[in-house]
Copies of this chain bind each other. A is one copy, B any other.
Amino acid sequence: MNFLQQRILSEGIVKPGNVLKVDSFLNHQMDIALLDQIGAEFHRRYADKPITKVLTIESSGIAIACSVAREFGVPVVVAKKSKSVNIDGDTYVAEVESFTSKKKHLVVVSKKFLTAQDRVLIVDDFMANGYAMQGLISLVESAEATVEGLGIVIEKAYQEGGWRMRNLGYRLESLAIIESMDPKTGEITFQTQE
C-alpha cells in the first residue's frame, strides 16, 4: 500500500452516494508534504516524457498541479470554469458536466498558454465519470498540443472514467484506485496495482 492509500485509509471518510471526503489533507485543508510526495510520484511515473506544461482545472486540481510542475520544472496552466464564451476568440473552450451537481459548464484556456509545441500532463484530484478530464483533453487537442498522459490522485474504479480514458488510448496513472467503499462500515478497498 502506498503513502496515499495509507493516508486515505487513516483520514478519508466515506459518505453516502459514493462520496469520499479527503478534505483534511487534499481538498479543503492541504498537507503540503503529501502534495509534494504526490508531485514526486507523478514525476517518477512520467520521467520518460518531455512534459512542457501541467494542465489542471480550478479549483481542487491547482495545489496538486503546482507540486507536479515543480518536479518537472515547467509552468502550470489552470483551465477556468466559465458560464459564457469569450467572444473575442482568444480562448479554447470545452463543455463539462459536473458529477456532483449534474450542471454543465464551460472550461476555457487562453490560446496564449497552450500551443502545438506543448507536451501536456493533465492532472486532477479525482476521476469519476471522467467528464472533467475529457474537457481538459479537448482543450489540449484544440491547441494541437500533445497529451502525454493523465495523472489522477484518486480514481473510482466502479465509475467509468478511468476505463474510458484508457480505452481511448490515453496513458492514465492513478495513485489510488478505489475498488469499493462502504458508507455503513467506512471500509475502503483499493484495486491492487503493480
Q: State which residues 67-121 of A face B: CB under 8 Å.
A: 67, 69-70, 73-78, 80, 109-110, 112-113
CA distance A36 to B36 in the complex (A): 13
The answer to the question of A29 belonging to the interface, with a C-beta cut-off of 8 Å to chain B, is yes
**A66→B63 contact, CB < 8 A:** yes
**B59→A29 contact, CB < 8 A:** no
Chain B residue numbers with a CB within 8 Å of A109 are 28
**B112→A24 contact, CB < 8 A:** yes
The answer to the question of A58 belonging to the interface, with a C-beta cut-off of 8 Å to chain B, is yes
**A23→B110 contact, CB < 8 A:** yes
Selected contact of A66 from candidates B32, B59, B73, B110, CB within 8 Å: B32
Most B CB atoms within 10 A — which of A28, A59, A109? A28
The answer to the question of A187 belonging to the interface, with a C-beta cut-off of 8 Å to chain B, is no
The answer to the question of A178 belonging to the interface, with a C-beta cut-off of 8 Å to chain B, is no
Chain B residue numbers with a CB within 8 Å of A63 are 62-63, 66, 76
Chain B residue numbers with a CB within 8 Å of A73 are 32
The answer to the question of A31 belonging to the interface, with a C-beta cut-off of 8 Å to chain B, is yes
**A24→B113 contact, CB < 8 A:** yes
**A113→B29 contact, CB < 8 A:** yes
CA distance A77 to B23 in the complex (A): 10
Chain B residue numbers with a CB within 8 Å of A78 are 27-30, 59
Output the nearest chain B residue to A58 by Cβ-Cβ distance: B59
Chain B residue numbers with a CB within 8 Å of A58 are 58-59
The 0/1 profile, CB within 8 Å of B marked 1, for residues 2-32 of chain A is 0000000000000000000001100111111
**B30→A66 contact, CB < 8 A:** yes
Q: Name the 6 nearest CB pairs between A and B, nearest first.
A: A59-B59, A58-B59, A30-B76, A29-B113, A62-B62, A32-B70
